[in-house]
Amino acid sequence: MGSLTQRQLRIITQICWTIALAVVAIPFVFPFLWMISGGFKSANEIFGSPSLIPREWQWQNFLDVFTYQPFARQYFNSLYIAVTVTALTLFVSSLAGYALARLRFAGSALVGLFLVSALMVPEEVTIIPNFFLMKWAGFIDSHWPLILLPVFGPQGIMATFLMRQYFMALPKELEDAGKMDGLSRFGVWWRIALPMSRPALAAVAIITFLNSWNLFLEPLIFVSSLEKFTLPLALSNFTDPYGMPLWHLQLAATSLAVVPILIVYLIAQRQIIESFALSGVKG
Amino acid sequence: MTSLTLSGIRKRFGKTEVIRGVDLSVDDGEFVVFVGPSGCGKSTLLRMVAGLEDITAGELRIGARVMNEVQPAKRGVAMVFQSYALYPHLNVRDNMGFGLKVRGVPVDERTRRVGEAATTLKLDALLDRFPRELSGGQRQRVAIGRAIVGEPSVFLFDEPLSNLDAELRVHMRSEIAALHQRLGNTMIYVTHDQIEAMTLADKIVVLRDGLVEQVGSPRQLYERPDNLFVAQFIGSPKMNVLPLADVRLPGGAAPAAAASVGMRPEHLSVVSPGGGAVDGKVMIAEYTGAQTLLHVEAAGHTLLVLHEGEAPANGSRLGLSIERANLHFFDADGRRAG
């Protein structure tokens, strides 16, 4: 080893690291590849052959997904609900976070404490009161609970705290400069604080979108019509008349379900990793 | 151009009173510097003039109008901040034009005013750059440009040079002085650097613990300080103060009420022991080029002496003489006596 140059040593170290990381990545990557491969296999072949390459490519699976149930509609439901929840959460959490960070008002500490304490209550505990609340409002078997509960529930509070922390770190002199330039308090928020908080907004957007996209318990409880299902619920619905899963359809549908997330991830890979680091939330 | 009047201005944060009754008038086109040690309330007073802090009591007039409750942007004032406070998401052009845009100034007018200010401040080539792409001095010029384009009656500067290195500070100081000459606006400038205060001001306001200690021209403050605090705050190195009994006064007796005597380091001359107002021993000699700063131990005190020419050796004994006209007498309460 003594005769190795600095450069050779660096290359060898790099190769060793790459191999080690590749081995560590297998448990994470293999299920994903297995899912995509399963989507292209026949029902019999999925558990019949360990190979990731299908004997015969079953493109038909991806068409059957749409005929078995209103999958396109369900896909759209998930998409528009996630986008709406994300947009509303960004609006509400940034406004509330700004107020908590910057406005001095009577009881602001109490509001903060109240919000934190709400975070400590498990979602499963509040689901029954929430059910009655939504029933009282006439929102059962509609998408309203899937939009309102994440925006004003624990996820919304988390987002509010994330925004609050970020706003607190913004230099106050910039806001003073905004006031000198003629901005109102709302103007300072909209034209100075928000544009400067893009990393925090991105973090909130990404986490909120993912949470909404993966939401299972709420759709299961509040939605009963097939055409109002969201993706997680729809995926669990690819079963035969005896309730056994139709793996080939389920895997094809799941592959389709991860496409938007995958696209977003590939586009904004760095931003997403920074978001999780910023928020202290794991993926 | 506009005058400014502060009458009985007070500011309280909770139970702490940080401004304890300030009366001050600033004339049209005057360059006024608020100076004082950290925590004396100078920045708070400036922010109250700007409208960024509420006035707890008293009256602020800009021109003839009472401004206590008027929004910052409607007071006809512009402020340059210590940290420049440039919007990081906007380029230089948009930073300078932002206030005009908010106020609904038409695009043509906005472009013209930003262009003029950029030319004045030699920022033409930097208009499309973002603040992160500028040096400290350039950022400061943009901050000044942002203030200029609003065509305010009064400019407010909150320690604008404190983030710059020494060389750039001297340069920007002269630029601000030139700007004042060119525009002729009323300017209020906050600093803790008394060289800045002395070189820029028409009038200096010395503050301590939320109160005005003295208001006057730099020369007045230097030559006739009202009290010991001002005497020692204005002037660098600071004035030496000795009990009256420890000094052999040249030219007759001291005023009746005098208890201590002040001598500026630059007014003391080195003479033979016994030949001056005090005798002492050189402890340290700091050579600074044109002059040497001597630390002389005399009568149990350390005196500072600015000496030109060959410095006496450390440990040598000497006398220090001073002309009668350069002595400052203070009574037991630290007020000027005579």
Residue of chain A minimizing CA distance to B80: A177
Taken as a whole, chain A contains a residue count of 283
CA distances from A226 to A214, A260, B127, B247 (A): 17, 22, 58, 102
Side chain identity at residue B183, one-letter code: L
Look at residue A1 and tell me whether its pLDDT is greater than 60: no
The model's pLDDT over A45-69, given as tens digits with 9 standing for 90+, comes to 888 888 888 888 989 999 999 999 9
Strand B317-321 versus strand B269-271 pairing type? antiparallel
Mutation target to probe the B interface, by most B beta carbons within 10 A, among A180, A190, A191, A201 is: A180
Q: What is the pLDDT of residue A276?
A: 66
A181 and B89 within 8 Å at the Cβ level: the answer is no
Question: Residues 155..194 of A with a Cβ closer than 8 Å to B: which?
Answer: 171, 173-174, 176-177, 179-183, 187, 191-192
Q: What is the pLDDT of residue B1?
A: 52
CB distance from A104 to chain B under 8 Å? no
The single residue listed with the structure tokens 């800009």 is B62
B52 and A180 within 8 Å at the Cβ level: the answer is yes
B81 and A176 within 8 Å at the Cβ level: the answer is yes
Please tell me whether residue B265 adopts helix, strand or coil conformation. Answer: helix
User: Please, what is the Cα angle at A69 between A67 and A73, to 5 degrees?
Assistant: 100
A196 contacts on B by Cβ (under 8 Å): 87-89
Question: Residues 84..103 of B with a Cβ closer than 8 Å to A: which?
Answer: 85-89, 98-99, 102-103
Can you give the pLDDT of all 338 residues of chain B as single tens digits? 589 999 999 999 989 999 999 999 999 999 999 999 999 999 999 999 999 999 999 999 999 899 999 999 999 999 999 999 999 999 999 999 999 999 999 999 999 999 999 998 889 999 999 999 999 889 999 999 999 999 999 999 999 998 888 888 888 899 899 999 988 999 999 998 888 999 999 999 999 999 999 999 999 999 999 999 999 999 989 999 999 999 999 888 889 899 999 999 999 999 999 889 999 999 999 998 889 999 999 988 999 999 998 889 999 999 999 999 999 999 999 999 97
Look at residue A268 and tell me whether its pLDDT is greater than 80: no
CB distance from B232 to chain A under 8 Å? no
Find the mean pLDDT for residues A114-123.
85
Query: How distant is the Cα of A234 from the closest Cα of chain B, in angstroms?
Result: 43
CB distance from B237 to chain A under 8 Å? no
Contacts of B29 (CB under 8 A, 6+ apart): B1, B184, B185, B186
A182 and B81 within 8 Å at the Cβ level: the answer is no
Torsion angles phi and psi, residue B29, rounded to 5: 75, 10
Is A93:A154 a contact under the CB 8 Å cutoff?
no
CA–CA separation, B25 and B4 (whole Å): 6
CA–CA separation, A41 and B272 (whole Å): 108
Side chain identity at residue A107, one-letter code: G
A195 and B81 within 8 Å at the Cβ level: the answer is no
Q: What is the pLDDT of residue A140?
A: 94
A180 and B99 within 8 Å at the Cβ level: the answer is yes
Query: How distant is the Cα of A145 from the closest Cα of chain B, in angstroms?
Result: 37
CA distances from A229 to A18, A41, A254, A256, B148 (A): 42, 26, 15, 16, 60
| Nearest Cα residue to A222 out of A66, A81, A72 | A81
Cα R_g (chain B), whole angstroms:
24
Look at residue A131 and tell me whether its pLDDT is greater than 90: yes
Query: How distant is the Cα of A196 from the closest Cα of chain B, in angstroms?
Result: 7
Look at residue A195 and tell me whether its pLDDT is greater than 50: yes
DSSP labels for B192-248? S-HHHHHHH-SEEEEEETTEEEEEE-HHHHHHS-SBHHHHHHSSSSPPEEEEGGGS-
CB distance from A24 to chain B under 8 Å? no
Q: What is the pLDDT of residue A282?
A: 41
C-alpha A139 chain-centroid distance: 23
Please tell me whether residue B320 adopts helix, strand or coil conformation. Answer: strand
Look at residue A105 and tell me whether its pLDDT is greater than 90: no
B103 and A182 within 8 Å at the Cβ level: the answer is yes
CB distance from B76 to chain A under 8 Å? no
Nearest to A176 among B74, B85, B146 (CB): B85
CA–CA separation, B33 and A217 (whole Å): 65
Boundaries of every domain in chain B: 4-231, 239-330
Is B83:A176 a contact under the CB 8 Å cutoff?
no
Q: What is the pLDDT of residue A281?
A: 47
B98 and A179 within 8 Å at the Cβ level: the answer is no
CB distance from B130 to chain A under 8 Å? no
Please, which pLDDT band fits residue A120 given cuts at 50, 70 and 90? confident
Contacts of B198 (CB under 8 A, 6+ apart): B204, B218, B222, B234
The model's pLDDT over A220-263, given as tens digits with 9 standing for 90+, comes to 999 999 999 999 999 998 988 888 889 999 999 999 999 878 88
ipTM computed for the complex: 0.85
DSSP labels for chain A? -TT--HHHHHHHHHHHHHHHHHHHHHHHHHHHHHHHHHHTS-HHHHHH---SS-SS--THHHHHHHHHS-HHHHHHHHHHHHHHHHHHHHHHHHHHHHHHHH---TTHHHHHHHHHHHHTS-HHHHHHHHHHHHHHHT-TTSSHHHHHHHHHSHHHHHHHHHHHHHHHHS-HHHHHHHHHTT--HHHHIIIIIHHHTHHHHHHHHHHHHHHHHH--HHHHHH--SGGG--HHHHHTT-B-TTS-B-HHHHHHHHHHHHHHHHHHHHHTHHHHHHHHHHHT---
Query: How distant is the Cα of A167 from the closest Cα of chain B, in angstroms?
Result: 15
B51 contacts on A by Cβ (under 8 Å): 179
A173 and B99 within 8 Å at the Cβ level: the answer is no
- Return the number of other C-beta atoms located less than 10 Å from residue A184's C-beta: 14
Query: How distant is the Cα of B243 from the closest Cα of chain A, in angstroms?
Result: 46
B78 contacts on A by Cβ (under 8 Å): 180
Q: Report DSSP state, residue B326.
A: G
Class of domain B4-231: alpha beta
CA–CA separation, B21 and B35 (whole Å): 17
Q: How many CB pairs under 8 A join A and B?
A: 55
The model's pLDDT over A197-228, given as tens digits with 9 standing for 90+, comes to 888 898 898 889 989 999 999 999 999 999 99
Mutation target to probe the B interface, by most B beta carbons within 10 A, among A104, A174, A181, A191 is: A181
Nearest to A180 among B78, B88, B89 (CB): B78
A196 and B51 within 8 Å at the Cβ level: the answer is no
Q: What is the pLDDT of residue A280?
A: 52
A196 and B88 within 8 Å at the Cβ level: the answer is yes
Please, which pLDDT band fits residue A283 given cuts at 50, 70 and 90? very low
Nearest to A176 among B52, B74, B103 (CB): B52
Q: What is the pLDDT of residue A278?
A: 61
B99 and A176 within 8 Å at the Cβ level: the answer is no
Contacts of A162 (CB under 8 A, 6+ apart): A93, A97, A200, A203, A204, A278, A279
| Nearest Cα residue to B217 out of B63, B30, B3 | B30
Contacts of A20 (CB under 8 A, 6+ apart): none
Is A81:A230 a contact under the CB 8 Å cutoff?
yes
CB distance from A12 to chain B under 8 Å? no
Q: Which fold has domain B239-330?
A: OB fold (Dihydrolipoamide Acetyltransferase, E2P) (2.40.50)
A199 contacts on B by Cβ (under 8 Å): none
Is B35:B204 a contact under the CB 8 Å cutoff?
yes
A186 contacts on B by Cβ (under 8 Å): none
CA distances from B9 to B6, B16, B38, B53 (A): 6, 15, 19, 12
A177 and B103 within 8 Å at the Cβ level: the answer is no
A177 contacts on B by Cβ (under 8 Å): 79, 81, 85-87, 146
Side chain identity at residue B291, one-letter code: Q
A177 and B50 within 8 Å at the Cβ level: the answer is no
Contacts of B289 (CB under 8 A, 6+ apart): none
Query: Residue A104: CA atoms inside 13 Å, Cβ hemisphere, count?
Result: 2
Find the mean pLDDT for residues A263-269.
76
Q: What is the pLDDT of residue A199?
A: 84
B85 and A177 within 8 Å at the Cβ level: the answer is yes
